[in-house]
Structure 1
């Protein structure tokens, strides 16, 4: 009897163990889940435990296999891997929240009005700082002069960044504090002259630092609060990871401190701004990697921007007797790229003009060994000479592009480049054909931070109003699957994170986003209006729309 009883007990516990559901932290079911795995599989449900995906499949299957502390009925809504922004500026965006936002201003008088409103609201401000102006939106698209600021702000220094952050509009008080009272040569920059031959108040690229270095720095507490406010905006549009494109040593130290204190939640792949001091320091210290902050890449700046005519071109601008300029000499780029190629650091270089892109591609190719493993990037890759596209394939260089740049610049890009050269600008499909992947970003705050705006620009090649009809250079539009991969798994690959994130697969970090409509099937006209319902990082909801 005892033997029979023992067998019965064993059988009971064996049966119970086989039928009892496994415990997990979260189940999401009744959804349309785009896993963005290699087969682009679509499933109905997923399970999360300890911050990682443990299973996915049909709702019936997942609910049968698991018990969860929290369950979410997605009510048929679409789910995607957490969105990446593969090129952004977190600190600039945070700073702009407390500055004068000049995006969309149509005239200098409108700039003055916004500055006066700010000064009235902040009468104790020692400086007036703003950003976002674009002279290409004005009836007279020439640069303004300091005289238009001096009349209203004679004693308060003013520093206003152009929308691309490659030019600044300043007043006489700011120039006085910087002791800039005449024209002189600035390597990689330009002080624009007025009609009398004096500084006009417009500083291009490296000349901006003549004044910006005198702007008081923010206190630590103020900076953290700004970053949190910026983070709230980013989480609200489904971003779970950003690539911070070029930070100072001080900013990197702040980030390390804030993440160690668990004060920030969004994941950050931070690039080191490539000046000799920071490069040498980080070459000694090596990579920094925590759960949500990674520092393992160097950001170099080859040239300026097309809108301010600082992009370095092979031939003259169509609308000005200049070819733009490099921010450093070819010899200096050669030296630093050679030095970095001998390390394990990734290098990501800002290159807009076709001359800058050629220089950097050739230098990468000259020094990189086993380049497919190094994953070096060109940031923007905006204008490419026809014979240089193949170098992205030949040298295994990742194109990191921002689709909304195409739909923002298309109104005036032909004036800068001419029709023939324009054909090889914003050529995302051609770049994709060469490398096989694209890392997609926004360059916020230069462009809006919503990744669906970039998705819309990539697939429809039109602005928010649907202009131009039929799309801008549609031969370089991406498919929806390509665009989604570019803001998830391909972006993760460009950061060496494809085994951790970028798709919804077993063992990967449970970063995902639930939207209120499906970007894979919604009409083009509806894409920008789609809302994020929930943003989840490591299995924890960091944003939920109420």
Structure 2
């Protein structure tokens, strides 16, 4: 044989066997890719922050090599989790304030405030997390004890849902309000002719909180990131951010201090912010996406601020309230509809949902792929489910298992049929996006998974599950926390599944959430979180 031909064939053989160098290879995994066919994979390769191959061990090892190889040892891997509705920045700031989550009485609330102030000695005490529905006496607190403990230091601590505020007289005096102050879209709670210290929704705006420093804001974002990565979150949809916070997030991401991906919903409570972002247009980087507005339709069910079509079952002639006038919602919707932006409206009560769904339909005129969302979609009248054929339901499953103890007392048996109706909503739109609403609920996404599929609390109550006709399957739930959440953010081409060409965001778990017994789901732990193929958390 010709020597030159032998040399050519030898070179071809050498180069044909040469493997491609990649940044990371993962082998021996139980990977749920969440692609269109919901396929499973054993291995994958990553280069330049993207998945470049997904398959079995032999396929990946035969074609790729890397200095960094992870042996998953048969552990379960899922795409990076997306919390489709949370308050990332607020949760971070909360780390620097008094935490009242899980308190079982008003006295325990007071004890925590006293302990916090003894340690911090602040000039204005703030925090959040109390919930009177968790107390033996399920009534709003009053401020007398707070006034006695802190006669000169202003105190303003929020209810867990952020729709009610307990303040003392010092905070009231600083705000300059009285029991006769007029409120539109909220309420100053009065008892026996006196202010109780509880303010609902728009009434909270009177309180003059101290401003947050740049250092506090930065630390808050970094604290929130650390917590979120530890639970496998790689994207957070922060529902309601001001321009200054969005710009801080962008600057921290650009210097790679903040690595978390953020889908920023601009707070729609200020007309100048709506004007600014619509005129500026969509802002999109690998880490930041600004293309939506968060609008408040009503308050929360727990504080009876949710707008209902008929009065509350446990409070005669009380209906809650819309935050703005119907005309204002139309103005906002018309302006957003004329742009490329998405409108995401908080709607809890059946009246708020009715009004916002009808407003959406009127201004969108059946336009497709606008992907406008109803956040919470908590109580829906039977006739209103059809509107969701063109509107994304964005729900938080743990709200169902937190509210199930008292919700029927509040709204009655008939309205409960359309409450927390996740399966009915999914069947209408074909997708459903899931979040936690943290810090209203816990950050833990595996509690979301448990609440959506098993619909029980951690004590196995109720035994048969809560309204199980509206439970989601495990596949639907994982999609709602990954690919469907990405879709709701217009990001399904770059994240939400483990597929070639997408960001290499993935999470290694200590157990298979798709197969284990239901009661074991809440005990799931994240072993490692990867973003762009970089390990950002390890147990």
After TM superposition, the score normalised by the length of structure 2 is 0.98
How far apart, CA to CA, are the structure 2 residues paired with 1:362 and 1:181? 37
CA contact (8 A) 2:98 2:128 kept: yes
How far apart, CA to CA, are the structure 1 residues paired with 2:366 and 2:139? 47
2:228 is equivalent to residue 234 of structure 1? yes
2:317 is equivalent to residue 333 of structure 1? no
Work out which of the residue numbers 281, 284, 287 in structure 1 matches 2:279.
284
Q: How many residues align?
A: 537
Aligned residue for 1:77? 75
Work out which of the residue numbers 301, 319, 340 in structure 1 matches 2:314.
319
How far apart, CA to CA, are the structure 2 residues paired with 1:257 and 1:186? 38
How far apart, CA to CA, are the structure 2 residues paired with 1:466 and 1:234? 26
Work out which of the residue numbers 350, 356, 360 in structure 1 matches 2:352.
356
Moved more, 151-160 or 369-378: 369-378
Task: Compute the displacement of 1:369 (Å).
Answer: 4.3
Give the secondary-structure state (helix, strand or coil) at the position aligned to 1:371.
Answer: coil
Aligned residue for 2:383? 387
2:524 is equivalent to residue 530 of structure 1? yes
2:7 is equivalent to residue 12 of structure 1? no
How far apart, CA to CA, are the structure 2 residues paired with 1:492 and 1:464? 29
Name segments (4+ residues, structure 1) moved above 4 Å. none
Work out which of the residue numbers 10, 20, 23 in structure 1 matches 2:21.
23
Alignment of 1:469-508 (within 5 A): 469-508=463-502
Work out which of the residue numbers 137, 141, 149 in structure 2 matches 1:140.
137
How far apart, CA to CA, are the structure 1 residues paired with 2:205 and 2:257? 30
For residues 346-365 of structure 1, give each alpha carbon's deviation from its aligned partner in whole angstroms, at most 9, with x where no partner exists.
Answer: 11000001110011111110
2:289 is equivalent to residue 294 of structure 1? yes
How far apart, CA to CA, are the structure 2 residues paired with 1:388 and 1:162? 29
CA contact (8 A) 2:93 2:216 kept: no
Task: Compute the displacement of 1:51 (Å).
Answer: 0.5
Work out which of the residue numbers 56, 62, 65 in structure 2 matches 1:58.
56
Structure 2: tracts of 5 or more residues without a match: none
Aligned residue for 1:179? 176
Work out which of the residue numbers 165, 181, 197 in structure 2 matches 1:201.
197
How far apart, CA to CA, are the structure 1 residues paired with 2:120 and 2:48? 46
How far apart, CA to CA, are the structure 1 residues paired with 2:23 and 2:533? 8
CA contact (8 A) 1:183 1:199 kept: no
After TM superposition, the score normalised by the length of structure 1 is 0.97
CA contact (8 A) 2:296 2:323 kept: yes
Aligned residue for 1:454? 448
Moved more, 151-160 or 134-143: 134-143
Give the secondary-structure state (helix, strand or coil) at the position aligned to 1:294.
Answer: strand
CA contact (8 A) 1:145 1:194 kept: no
Give the secondary-structure state (helix, strand or coil) at the position aligned to 1:407.
Answer: helix
How far apart, CA to CA, are the structure 2 residues paired with 1:489 and 1:143? 40
How far apart, CA to CA, are the structure 1 residues paired with 2:431 and 2:330? 26
Aligned residue for 1:444? 438
How far apart, CA to CA, are the structure 1 residues paired with 2:3 and 2:171? 92
Task: Compute the displacement of 1:370 (Å).
Answer: 5.2
2:257 is equivalent to residue 263 of structure 1? yes
Aligned residue for 1:220? 214
Alignment of 1:340-379 (within 5 A): 340-369=336-365, 371-379=367-375
2:410 is equivalent to residue 416 of structure 1? yes
Task: Compute the displacement of 1:492 (Å).
Answer: 0.3
How far apart, CA to CA, are the structure 1 residues paired with 2:86 and 2:375? 11
For residues 89-146 of structure 1, give each alpha carbon's deviation from its aligned partner in whole angstroms, at most 9, with x where no partner exists.
Answer: 01110111111111111221111111110111012x1111111101111222111111
Task: Compute the displacement of 1:423 (Å).
Answer: 1.3
CA contact (8 A) 2:240 2:264 kept: yes
Work out which of the residue numbers 237, 241, 245 in structure 2 matches 1:247.
241
